[in-house]
Amino acid sequence: MPTKLLRHLTAWCIALTVLQGQAIQVRPASTLTYPVSIVDGNSPSVWVDGLIHVYTSTGDHQMAMTGTDLFNLRESQSPVITPKDHYPIWIESVWRDPDGAIYGWYHHEPGGVCPNGKLTAPQIGAVVSDDGGSTFRDLGIVLSTGDRLNCGASNGFFAGGHGDFSVILDRDQHYFYFLFDNYSGPLQHQGVSIARMRFEERLSPVGAVNKYYAGTWDQPGIGGLVTPVFQADASWESSNTDALWGPSVHWNTHLKSYVAVLNRSCCKSGWPQEGIYISISGDLSDPQSWSPPIKLMDDSAIGFAPGYYPQVVGIEAGGTDTLAGATARLFIKGISKWEIVFLTAEEAPPPVIPPEGPLE
């Protein structure tokens, strides 16, 4: 379907996106708001002893929410991370091991990266909890850029680095996959990139993560180069950045595919939000299998600005930010005013003939 026609149909039907023959519909629902003061990143979730635990962060402060389900969350005791060598920390993904340990991965913004002190260059690290998420032990940095930093970058925040990511375990439990942003280096290196770590290495992750580059998984997580899955259209170093960022990935049991929702910054400095996009893949081991991202929502349709950090969260038994079914909740910056419905090619509605008139 031509992109221009698809944009027109999406607006005319209010919230219908067609993607590889499948359909994704966003529809209004009762408002859910995470019971914390601020949401500043992906908010991962995990089930422990019949309760869902949701984490979010401000960098200096980690926050937790607990409840019998997504609709009955209360703020709970903040987790403690030790040592504090990599503060500020934003926990952006978690996963619970069958033995009860909770593994987590964080975005870290080091200081002192640039002489003027205005820009940083994020890194990605790992933590583990043996007490149900009350405390976490820092396992160290597992992903950092191998590209040159640019302290004259004009995006307003980063001189480069890796960050704003999510982690998901493949269905065969062979690898944890990291979808993250590379803000560094030449344009062909910038954008949403991918790395992976063997399942068996989860407790000793430093040096165990490999990046995808030029068709192979041979680049080291510390340093090393990347080939983006979704390359930036205009550099993060420029004043007219145009790039997708901040992926949140889940396995959709209904589509039997991985689904990523992403932000798009365009097309000036200061990190403006243009909209939210969606892509699907049937095979994490093949970075080329991700479908071309299609716009899910305009930022102006969200109702508050900026509409960062979209996440799909499952509402069925065991649902989290990495596992969802046919109907789930769409959260944006910790607020959900929408259900998101996933329809297979067989379930998708037939093409709609739009009203007559120019496609604008």
- Residue scoring higher pLDDT (7 or 328): 328
Pick the closest to residue 206 from 219, 214, 197 (CA basis): 197
Q: How confident is the model at residue 300 (pLDDT cuts 50, 70, 90)?
A: confident
Q: What pairs with residue 107 in β-bridges? A: 90, 124
For residue range 330-340, what is the model confidence (pLDDT) as tens digits?
A: 999 999 999 99
In percent, the amount of the chain with pLDDT more than 70 equals 92
325 HSE (CA, 13 A, CB side): 6
Q: What is the pLDDT of residue 343?
A: 95
What does the block give as tokens for 96? 């619970």
Proportion of the chain above pLDDT 90, given as a percent = 84
Closest CA to 30 of 341, 261, 335: 335
259: phi then psi, degrees, rounded to nearest 5: -125, 130
- CA distance between the termini of the chain: 16
Residue type present at position 272:
P
Average pLDDT in the 212-219 region?
Answer: 98
Among the residue ranges 144-158, 182-196, 225-239, 295-309, the one predicted with the least confidence is 295-309
User: What's the mean pLDDT when you consider all of the chain?
Assistant: 92
pLDDT at residue 20 is higher than 80: no
Q: What is residue 135's predicted lDDT score, i.e. its pLDDT?
A: 97
The CA-based diameter of the chain, rounded to the nearest angstrom, is: 63
Residue 308 pLDDT: 94
Q: What is the mean pLDDT of residues 173-177?
A: 98
User: Token pair of 204, please?
Assistant: 């000793």
C-alpha–C-alpha distance, residues 335 and 19, integer Å: 25
pLDDT of 351 over the 90 cut: no
Mean pLDDT (whole number) for 88-117: 95
Tokens of 172: 């065969």
Location of structure tokens 């600005």: 305
- This prediction has a pTM of 0.93
Task: Copy the structure tokens of residue 133.
Answer: 């998420």
- What's the confidence (pLDDT) of residue 36? 95
Confidence band for 355, pLDDT divided at 50, 70 and 90: low
Whether 12 has a pLDDT exceeding 90, the answer reads no
pLDDT at 253: 98
Whether the per-residue pLDDT at 51 is higher than 80: the answer is: yes
Residues 6+ apart with CB under 8 A from 131: none
Q: Is the pLDDT of residue 75 over 50?
A: yes
Report the pLDDT averaged over residues 292-310.
91
Summarize the confidence of residues 188-198 as an average pLDDT. Answer: 98
Cis, peptide link before residue 88, omega less than 30° from 0: yes
Give the pLDDT score at 19: 76
Which of 54-58, 296-300, 301-305 has the highest average model confidence (pLDDT)? 54-58
Average pLDDT for 87-113: 97
The pLDDT-based confidence of 22 (bands split at 50, 70, 90) is confident
pLDDT at 205: 98
Find the range with the poorest average confidence among 18-22, 34-38, 43-47: 18-22
Rg (CA), the chain: 19
Q: Which residues contact 82 (CB under 8 A, 6 or more apart)?
A: 135, 136, 137, 138
Residue type, 255: L
User: Is pLDDT larger for residue 2 or for residue 241?
Assistant: 241
Band (352; pLDDT cuts 50, 70, 90): low
The full 3-state SS of the chain, as one line of letters, equals CCHHHHHHHHHHCCCEEEECCEEEEEEEEEEEECCCCCCCCCCCEEEECCEEEEEEECECCEEEEEECCCCCEEEECCCEEECCCCCCEEEEEEEECCCCCEEEEEEECCCCCCCCCCCECCEEEEEEECCCCCEEEEEEEEEECCCCCCCCCCCCCECCCEEEEEEEECCCCCEEEEEEEECCCCHHHCEEEEEEEEHHHCCCCCCCEEEEECCEEEEECECCCCCCCEECCECCCCCCCEEEEEEEEEEECCCCEEEEEEEEEECCCCCCEEEEEEEEECCCCCHHHCCCCEEEEEHHHCCCCCCCCEEEEECCCCCECCEECCEEEEEECCEEEEEEEEECCCCCCCCCCCCCCCCC
What mean pLDDT do residues 145-160 have? 94
